[in-house]
Structure 1
Amino acid sequence: MAIMETDTTASLTKSNKIIDLHCHLIPGIDDGSPDLEHSLELAHQAVAEGITHILATPHHLDGDYVNHRDDVIKHVTDFQRELDHHGIPLVIFPGQEVHINGDLTEKYDDLLGIDEDKKYMLIEFPHGSVPAYAKRLFFELRKLGTTPVIVHPERNHEIQGDLNLLYDFIADGALSQLTATSYVGGFGEKVQHISEQLVEHNLVQIFASDAHALKGRSFALREAFMKLRTELGQTEVDEFEGNAENLLNGMPVFARDYSRVDKKKKFWLF
């Protein structure tokens, strides 16, 4: 799954690439793009953002959608063919947004990681809570060689009430992914403030779009990186982008300099 340079560059980053590791652009398989027309439009939007590589991550095992490993690989192959046919300079890789379940280790062979060897895997919590078994499951996944990457923790209601719940997972070896739209205010001021705190305390390691073919669910990665550069500098931008590239290639990524969040600070509950 090694990433190659393309003719499309994103000068915002040192690598001249922007990699999106969470996106729902494969047509007709979850609540993302409903059809090929919308998927191609999403692809055009991605290229306009400077995005060069996307991990397609349809929902899996969330109670509404089941997207088996082999099916996702076929869908991605078919969609890449459409992109090439339409001359859209975007490279797509197969992945899943895996909803947390107590029996994921039993279904492990049907799961896709961020990288081909499943060293990293996107894991989604329910929106309202953090399951009590999550730490045990993460331990079991790590024994199998897979580091969990928690998606959009800033939108989980229980974590919103206590950001140190995420700290505990990071301290145990997990990683996490912040939605770019959250960081720039697309989900409201409350989620934006929480997102800024997670970045400030190094509790998230990458941005991703979680883009859907829905109003308000666009990519926003360029805007997020520009804000990150303004507030924390180019080095932070390049680290976030480099982390995304390393995750896709199965290379080492570690949380660094993360810290607990002062509980005296106010965070909004939903």
Structure 2
Amino acid sequence: MKINNLVDLHCHILPAIDDGSPSLDVSLELARQAVADGIRYILATPHHMDRHYLNHADEVRQAVEDFQDELDFQHIQLTVFPGQEIHLNGQLMSHIDDFLGIDASRNYILLELPHEMVPNYLDEMIFQLSCKGITPVIAHPERNEQIIAEPKRLYELVEQGVLAQVTATSLVGTFGEQVQRTAKEFVKCGLVQVVASDAHALKNRGFTMTKAYQVLRKLNSEYPERFAANARDLLNGDQIDTGQFEIPRKQRKHWLF
């Protein structure tokens, strides 16, 4: 299966703005790899408000505009949109005016949790965001240590109205069997609604979107079109049908990464 119009909603492709790409040349090579993997549209999501990076909305918009100009000059058939991977912290709501949404109307934002755990205040943040008409899309929950150990926690979050994004490399096994098993379980339980690359110019952090869609097809022949449609709808700010979701099977308390 080869798809040429995939939407990738989580990608660190912009040059010299976070840990994704050190230079324009590397970013252009990432862009060529994305096109070769069937991707036509990318939401550029540099890290924002984590321990290392601040990428303000206006700066990201300018970086995307400059990069798109270079893509067009190089005749690379890729369209890039401005976004952010916003790191969860207790001051989230006071910075909301500096957030870029997945969509232009900011109906959705891409929200990254700490890798080790799910902060207790996340539930309150979900409520406060919902009061502003914003739905958080949790980035790569299958790689969060607490959620791996307690997968019902993601079910509880989805019950509150959040969405979640699984990483392509998780589905194909790049992060190991345990993460892959968790990713597939979340797909089958309806707890993740979209697949994205989270690509960086790092070893084993490439796109693999076509392979991920092949994994989805093996799980259920209806998944590829559903996940592709969800990505398009999120980028357009449209409501998506989450369908039914189930409590995942209880995992072991401790995992080796």
**TM > 0.5 fold call:** yes
| 1:239 and 2:226 are equivalent in the alignment | yes
Query: Is the contact between residue 95 and residue 113 of structure 1 (CA under 8 Å) also seen in structure 2?
Result: yes
Mean Cα displacement is larger for which, 121-130 or 253-262? 253-262
Give how far 1:262 is off. Answer: 2.6
User: Could you tell me which amino acid in structure 1 is paired with residue 129 of structure 2?
Assistant: L
Query: Given the alignment of the two structures, is residue 224 of structure 1 paired with residue 212 of structure 2, yes or no?
Result: yes
1:252 aligns with 2:256: no
Q: Does 1:50 align with 2:38?
A: yes
- For residue 67 of structure 2, the aligned residue among 79, 82, 90 is 79
Contact 2:149–2:252, Cα closer than 8 Å, also in 1: no
Question: Is structure 2 residue 131 aligned with structure 1 residue 156?
Answer: no
Alignment partner, residue 193 of structure 1: 181
| Displacement of 1:255 | 2.1
The Cα shift of 1:184 comes to 0.5
TM-score normalised per structure 1: 0.92
* Structure 1 residue 17 displacement after superposition: 1.9
3-state SS of the aligned residue for 1:214?
coil
1:269 equivalent in structure 2: 255
Structure 1 position 173 matched with structure 2 position 161: yes
Q: TM-score, normalised by structure 2?
A: 0.97
- Which segments of structure 1 move beyond 6 Å, counting only runs of 4 or more? none
What secondary structure, in the 3-state scheme, does the structure 2 residue paired with 1:77 have?
A: helix
Counterpart of 1:123, as a letter, is: L
Supply the distance in 2 between the matched residues of 1:225 and 1:178 (Cα, whole angstroms).
12
Q: Note the C-alpha offset of 1:181.
A: 0.1
Deviations 1:53-83 (A, max 9, x none): 0000000000100000000000000000000
Does the CA contact (< 8 Å) of 1:54 and 1:91 recur in 2? yes
Q: Which runs of 5+ in 2 are unaligned?
A: none
Query: How far 1:253 moved relative to its partner?
Result: 1.4
Whole-Å separation in 2 of the counterparts to 1:268 and 1:188: 15
| The one of 113, 126, 138 aligned to 1:138 | 126
Q: How far apart, CA to CA, are the structure 1 residues paired with 2:131 and 2:120?
A: 19
Residues 194 and 267 in structure 1, CA contact (< 8 A), matched pair in contact too: no
2:84 is the counterpart of 1:65: no
Contact 1:190–1:268 (8 Å) recurs in 2: no
1-structure distance, mates of 2:40, 2:29: 15
Task: Return the letter of the residue paired with 1:100.
Answer: L
Aligned match of 2:17: 29
Conserved 8 A contact 1:40-1:83: yes
SS at 2:94's partner residue?
A: coil
Q: Is the 8 A contact 1:56 1:76 kept in 2?
A: yes
In the aligned structure 1, how far is the partner of 2:228 from the partner of 2:151?
24
